[in-house]
Structure 1
Amino acid sequence: MRILVLGVGKTGKLVAEVAAERGHSVHVLDAKENKDAAALTAPFVAGFDIIIDFTTPEAVVSNMRACLATGAKMVIGTTGWYDKLDDMKSLAERRGAALLYGTNFSIGVQKMLDLAKKMSAALKDSGYHFAISETHHESKLDSPSGTAITLRDAVLETIGSNNEVPIHATRTGEVAGIHTLEAIGHGDRLLLTHESKSRRPFAEGAVRAAEWLASRTGVYNVREVFDKL
């Protein structure tokens, strides 16, 4: 496939490397080359089979508007833009485009979310309450992380949305990502933790998602399809 990667941060660079390793033709655009999505003209976008975005919350919406309007296929690994999700879904559906988005493309994280639902279901009637902590590198812009919010949603889906599940976010050093769900009882505490040792699982998941999406149209959350990637 011909893949366009938007964003040359640490994850974006790794996405490009993984895509090339898997035999795809890759072109990368950085922020200077694509200010306000100016590079994403219809003829340029038409030269690619799929687009993977790992930019910033400020840039990603403009990128989606430009690309989805042409009927393009996009995998969005950027988080922090979900207040515009309904608009982007509508645009993709009107234009016959394809959009696959998610807060985390790591298969390990997706399995953690499943385990979090089982853990909270098992403990919800036993006097436990739940909290989440997450730690990321200093350059991560959104806080709390999209993954932490998704984790909270998974717990609330099980214990009821009227409950409180606080999130504590820390930004320090070069941490790729640590997420912990804590179940706190009267005399004990249970922890479910996912620790990323590198960004490679995110990159590999995003490229596999692009390969899956290439033959489809419509709008998908990675939570719905991760077991097919």
Structure 2
Amino acid sequence: MRVLVLGHGKTGKLVADVAAERGHGVHVLDAKENKDAAALTPPFVAGFDVVIDFTAPEAVVQNMRACLATGAKMVIGTTGWYDKLADMRGLAERRSASLLYGTNYSVGVQVMMQVAAQMAKSLKDAGYAFTIEETHHVTKLDSPSGTALSLAEVVEEAAGVAIVPIEAKRVGDAAGTHLLIATSEADRLVLQHDSFSRRGFAEGAVRAAEWLVKQKSGSYDFREVFSKL
């Protein structure tokens, strides 16, 4: 499989390493080489089986517009752009492209989402209030994290509440911690996921790319397909 990795930050580098370890050919473009998506010409993109984006919110939409317009298959690990999701899904459909997106490519986080939904559903009418706490490295651009927002969405739907408050912290080089806290007058229940490194995200993204290249064109949410990888 020929993989184009967009973004040469800490996670992007790790994605490239994992893809190479799994026997794929890898080419990496950093921000300087791809300013305003200028490098993503149709002939260039056509040289790859799949594109994996771990860039930044201000760059990812331009990258998607350029790649999806060619009918490419894309895995998006960047967050902070979901106000454009409907537009990008529409573009993928019009151009027979493939778009796989997710706020977190860790399989452990996806299992946490499932447990959180069951937890919220079980405590729905038991007098509990839900809150979320998340901690990431100081260079993370979006706050709250996309994962925390997804977790809140899951809990809000399962518990039937309007808003789950999120406290976001940015500390050092923290890889990522998410806590779902349910508090009543009698006790407190905490569901926690700790990332020890970014490798879980990178492995999930590469496995998602391997899955995507075998699928027909369309848009896919990682939450709905991770168990098929």
Q: Does the alignment reach a TM-score above 0.5?
A: yes
1:178 counterpart residue number: 177
Instruction: Using the aligned pairs only, state the percent identity.
Output: 71
TM-score, length basis structure 1: 0.99
2:88 counterpart residue number: 88
Q: Distance in 1 between matches of 2:227 and 2:212?
A: 13
Determine helix, strand or coil for the equivalent of 1:215.
coil
Are the counterparts in 1 of residues 123 and 159 from structure 2 also a CA contact under 8 Å? no
1:75 counterpart residue number: 75
1:164 is displaced (CA, Å) by: 2.6
1:17 counterpart residue number: 17
Gaps of 5+ in 2: none
Aligned AA for 1:130?
A: F
Where do residues 57-68 of structure 1 align in structure 2 (5 Å cutoff)? 57-68=57-68
Determine helix, strand or coil for the equivalent of 2:169.
strand
Aligned AA for 2:175?
A: A
Q: Distance in 2 between matches of 1:80 and 1:58?
A: 9
1:35 and 2:35 equivalent? yes
1:105 counterpart residue number: 105
1:198 and 2:197 equivalent? yes
Q: Distance in 1 between matches of 2:91 and 2:117?
A: 32
Note the alpha carbon deviations across 1:2-48, whole angstroms, 9 max, x for none: 00000000000000000000000000000000000000000000000
Q: Distance in 1 between matches of 2:120 and 2:197?
A: 28
1:188 is displaced (CA, Å) by: 1.1
What is the root-mean-square deviation in Å for CA atoms of aligned residues? Answer: 0.6
2:165 counterpart residue number: 166
1:124 is displaced (CA, Å) by: 1.3
Give the 4+ runs in structure 1 shifted more than 3 A.
none
1:122 is displaced (CA, Å) by: 1.1
Q: Distance in 1 between matches of 2:53 and 2:118?
A: 32
Q: Distance in 1 between matches of 2:3 and 2:199?
A: 18
Bigger CA drift: 12-21 or 118-127?
A: 118-127
Q: Distance in 2 between matches of 1:20 and 1:76?
A: 18
Determine helix, strand or coil for the equivalent of 1:75.
strand
1:159 is displaced (CA, Å) by: 1.1
Q: Distance in 1 between matches of 2:78 and 2:181?
A: 26
1:53 is displaced (CA, Å) by: 0.1
TM-score, length basis structure 2: 0.99
Gaps of 5+ in 1: none
Q: Distance in 2 between matches of 1:117 and 1:90?
A: 29
1:157 is displaced (CA, Å) by: 1.2
Q: Distance in 1 between matches of 2:88 and 2:207?
A: 22
Aligned AA for 1:27?
A: H
Q: Distance in 1 between matches of 2:162 and 2:78?
A: 28
Aligned AA for 1:189?
A: R
Q: Distance in 1 between matches of 2:94 and 2:110?
A: 29
Q: Distance in 1 between matches of 2:42 and 2:28?
A: 17
2:26 counterpart residue number: 26
Bigger CA drift: 114-123 or 62-71?
A: 114-123
Q: Distance in 2 between matches of 1:109 and 1:215?
A: 24
Q: Distance in 2 between matches of 1:123 and 1:101?
A: 30
Are the counterparts in 1 of residues 152 and 163 from structure 2 also a CA contact under 8 Å? no
Determine helix, strand or coil for the equivalent of 2:185.
coil
Note the alpha carbon deviations across 1:112-149, whole angstroms, 9 max, x for none: 00000111111111100100000000000000000000
Determine helix, strand or coil for the equivalent of 2:189.
strand
Q: Distance in 2 between matches of 1:141 and 1:33?
A: 21
